[in-house]
Amino acid sequence: MEAVGERPRLKKLLFNVIIQGDFVAVRVVMPSESTVSDLVGAAVKQYVKEGRRPLLTRTDSSCFSLHYSQFNFESLERGERLTDLESRNLYLCQKRVEMLPMTSFLGCSEEEAKASRKAISCFNFIDF
């Protein structure tokens, strides 16, 4: 039995996640013990399930970072609990692919890495 004056514990949380390139937020209901990583995966899965546009080039949740807004450069820690977040309205964007190590593309699939290598190699012949 709860004591008088004690706030009830939240069971589930509703988040509005705007994905880069889309104007309408994806609404995701998550258990309160979930982490930012869980929210990213659920938001990407919901976006793809709804068939939203623009289509995502990558659907692996490790290829995305979550921010408080599109103007905030610092991404949220993937292990942070959802109950510790300051807002329920968030912005999800794809991580930029680094050009230096061509072997690892932020943990994304090998097919994407091969396609990126081919795309980059064609620019070697263009004289700027």
pLDDT number for residue 103: 47
pLDDT number for residue 102: 46
Comparing C-alpha atoms, which of 62, 54, 119, 121 is closest to residue 95? 62
Q: Which amino acid is at 7?
A: R
Note the pTM of the prediction, 2 decimals: 0.70
Select from 3.10.20.90, 3.30.70.100, 1.10.3720.10, 3.30.365.10 the CATH code of 12-95.
Answer: 3.10.20.90
- What does the domain layout of the chain look like in residue ranges? 12-95, 98-128
pLDDT number for residue 3: 64
Mean pLDDT by 10 residues, the chain (128 residues): 72 96 95 96 96 90 94 94 95 75 49 51 48
Contact 91, 21 (CB under 8 A): no
pLDDT number for residue 121: 44
